[in-house]
Amino acid sequence: MRFNLGAKLGLLGPRSLTARVLLLATIWSAVALVVIAIVISQLYRQSSERAFTDLLRAQLYNVINSITIGDDNKLSGNPQLGDLRFSQPETGWYWIIEPLGTFAATPLSSSSLGTSNIKVPSILAVPFNNRYERFYPTYDAFGNHVLVAETEVVLDGEGRAARFRVSGNLEVVDDDVRAFDKNLYIALGIFGIGSLVVNAIAILYGLRPLDARAVLSTRFAVVSPNVSKAISLAKSCRSPMT
């Protein structure tokens, strides 16, 4: 009974093969799941940011197509973007149209912006791309972290131009990524725990014969010197008689 109990305890001892394999499998699974979670989260964030940029670009050109120069030489038009956030104050969702150069018209903006404005960075700091667009993050007067899509458009044959800007609140992207990360961590956590349980069962049953042999070998190594001494003693005792 003592031998069987010691053998069973030896299967999970710190020096047993089973314990070492379980420890290595657990560490590897944990590290792999953390790396996978980080990579997937970053890829999803990049995808969300690209989709957000494409949305702002589409809204920007919607505003451009809604604006003309009226008979009174003023900017005219009322963009309808189908999003109530452009009419609700302090949301971070704005559209702004500002005349450039000698075109002395009154700027237009969405009702959500109120009397505030968004700073325009220099072209050297944020250059235009090959589409003559530029995107830059900034903060509005209400502390919202926004992404601004901007371009400049010539509105008529006389060369009168205006700067068009549309902004969106980046909190939308952050909330989307946080929700995705939460579901991702839950899913990977359940998968990881299930994998560890299955691996532990497989390893415990698969390596049990090897650990049992190791325990027997250890016990035989302890017992064999005593047996050798007993045999030697017996031989020495029989020597005078022969």
Asked if residue 218 has pLDDT above 60, the reply is no
Q: What does residue 146 show for φ and ψ, rounded to 5 degrees?
A: -125, 155
Between vectors from CA 45 to CA 59 and to CA 110, what angle results, nearest 5°? 25
63 and 127 in a single domain? The answer is yes
Q: CA 152 to CA 120: how far, in whole Å?
A: 13
CA atoms within 13 A on the CB side of 63: 27
Tell me the pLDDT tens digit for each residue of 140-188: 989 999 999 999 999 888 888 999 999 999 999 999 999 999 999 999 9
What would the two tokens of residue 222 be?
């302890």
Tell me the pLDDT tens digit for each residue of 61-74: 999 999 888 878 88
- Inside any domain, residue 46: no
Q: What is the number of domains present in the chain?
A: 2
Q: What is each CA distance from 135 to 52, 108, 132, 185, 195, in whole angstroms?
A: 11, 20, 10, 31, 44
- Inside any domain, residue 124: yes
126 and 231 in a single domain? The answer is no
Q: Where is the domain boundary, 114, 140, 169?
A: 169
Q: Where is the domain boundary, 169, 199, 226?
A: 169
Bigger pLDDT: 223 vs 196: 196
140 and 182 in a single domain? The answer is no
Lowest mean pLDDT among 23-32, 56-65, 124-133: 23-32
With a threshold of 0.85, does the pTM exceed it?
no
65 and 165 in a single domain? The answer is yes
Q: Where is the domain boundary, 169, 192, 210?
A: 169
